[in-house]
């Protein structure tokens, strides 16, 4: 009986050992397969992260471009339980750009990002790609294509026109914004400098201290421009204004310029007794000095008109 029990137990033990060996082999095979799968996945991830398009996408200049486009996004980056107002305020691009364009470089100044790709400081291309989201920029770009395939001569003409424009502008880099605005207006309307020296919104004005015993020098009713203006001088109620007094300095609404430099306009002054004048040495591209030829009695007023012109197609 003891031998039979011992044999049976031995057989059971051998069978259990065999089953355990098969289970262990299967477990080890599964682990090896999982390690191989993990290694394969790791290799695939490493290969994907080392591909050219992925590496280029992580360059700061490329990330700057994406950030610029993303600034115009109105949707929230994460789902929200209750929708909130996502309306964006349009940035004042002109003022921002004027302060930055003179500092532009090539290659563009890149942005700064942390190890997780979060923005620490934007780069130059961020502003460029933000500009592409503005509707007027998109309108201009989308207006350039033609309905028909351009010929070789057409493409050459487009290139010459654009390149010669930038070259000409670089030779006129001292012109003011108002002068460029006037030039564009004159190109499309044929009117000379409407919006500059003929614009009532840019009227001349009195600056600095008035002359001795001058109570006021004020513009008269009606539109005033650099080209034509009307003024009233009022003397102090107690004392007259002596002859030869520098009555006032009048500043032009816009500086007089021609091509790349300032220009002294020709000024004509008219009054009832021709007793008001502008001395040529007192006329500059920015202002004009007004004088009286004869005494103006205490409390009296004298009206005069002033005309100015550059004498050229300004």
Give the percent of the chain with pLDDT over 90: 39
CA-CA-CA-CA dihedral for 99, 87, 118, 41, to nearest 10? -140
Provide the pLDDT for residue 302: 94
**Phi–psi pair at 251, nearest 5 degrees:** -95, 135
Highest mean pLDDT among 15-29, 73-87, 286-300: 286-300
Query: In angstroms, rounded to a whole number, what is the distance separating the alpha carbons of residues 26 and 22?
Result: 6
Q: In the predicted model, what is the mean pLDDT of residues 272-286?
A: 89
Provide the pLDDT for residue 220: 94
Q: Quick check: 15 pLDDT over 70?
A: no
Residue 4 token pair: 């039979």
Query: In angstroms, rounded to a whole number, what is the distance separating the alpha carbons of residues 128 and 312?
Result: 39
Q: Quick check: 2 pLDDT over 80?
A: no
Residue 255 token pair: 């500086």
Residue 296 or 58, more confident: 296
Look-up of token digits 């500043």: 251
pLDDT in tens, 184-196: 877 776 655 445 7
Q: In 3D, which of 77, 72, 193, 170 has the Cα closest to residue 127?
A: 72
Provide the pLDDT for residue 9: 58
Omega cis (within 30) before 130: no
**Phi–psi pair at 218, nearest 5 degrees:** -125, 145
Residue 34 token pair: 């999982």
Residue 24 or 221, more confident: 221
Decide: 206 and 214 in contact? Cβ < 8 Å.
no
Look-up of token digits 């003022």: 95
pLDDT in tens, 147-178: 999 999 999 999 999 999 999 999 888 888 77
Look-up of token digits 């993990």: 38
pLDDT in tens, 116-140: 888 888 888 888 888 899 999 999 9
Residue 169 token pair: 């502008």
pLDDT in tens, 64-74: 888 888 888 77
Q: In the predicted model, what is the mean pLDDT of residues 47-51?
A: 79
Rounded to the nearest integer, the mean pLDDT of the chain is 84
Beta strands in the chain (DSSP E): 112-113, 119-121, 205-207, 214-219, 228-235, 246-251, 257-258, 261-262, 266-271, 276-283, 287-292, 301-309
Provide the pLDDT for residue 193: 47
Provide the pLDDT for residue 261: 78
Query: In angstroms, rounded to a whole number, what is the distance separating the alpha carbons of residues 259 and 266?
Result: 17
């Amino acid at each position: 009986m003891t031998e039979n029990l011992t044999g049976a137990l031995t057989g059971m033990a051998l069978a259990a050992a065999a089953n355990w060996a098969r289970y262990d082999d299967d477990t080890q095979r599964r682990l090896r397969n999982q390690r191989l799968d993990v290694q394969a996945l790791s290799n695939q991830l490493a290969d994907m992260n080392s591909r050219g398009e992925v590496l280029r996408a992580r360059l700061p200049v490329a990330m700057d471009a994406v950030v610029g486009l993303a600034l115009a996004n109105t949707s929230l980056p994460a789902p929200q339980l209750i929708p909130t107002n996502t309306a964006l305020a349009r940035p004042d691009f002109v003022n921002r750009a004027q302060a930055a364009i003179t500092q532009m470089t090539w290659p563009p100044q890149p942005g700064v990002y942390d190890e997780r790709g979060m923005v620490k400081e934007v780069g130059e291309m961020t502003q460029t790609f933000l500009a592409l989201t503005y509707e007027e920029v998109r309108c201009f770009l989308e207006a350039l294509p033609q309905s028909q395939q351009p010929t070789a001569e057409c493409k050459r003409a487009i290139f010459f026109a654009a390149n010669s424009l930038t070259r000409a502008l670089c030779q006129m880099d001292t012109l003011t914004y108002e002068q460029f605005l006037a030039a564009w207006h004159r190109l499309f309307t044929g009117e000379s400098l409407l919006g500059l020296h003929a614009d009532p919104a840019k009227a001349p004005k009195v600056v600095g201290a008035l002359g001795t015993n001058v109570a006021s020098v004020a513009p008269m009713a009606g539109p005033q421009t650099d080209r034509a203006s009307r003024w009233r001088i009022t003397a102090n109620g107690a004392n007259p204004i002596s002859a030869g007094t520098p009555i006032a300095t009048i500043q032009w609404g816009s500086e007089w310029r021609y091509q790349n430099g300032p220009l002294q306009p020709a000024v004509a002054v008219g009054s009832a007794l021709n007793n008001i004048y502008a001395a040529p040495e007192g006329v500059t591209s920015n202002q004009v000095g007004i004088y009286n030829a004869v005494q103006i009695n205490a409390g009296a007023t004298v009206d005069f008109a002033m005309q100015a012109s550059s004498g050229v197609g300004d």
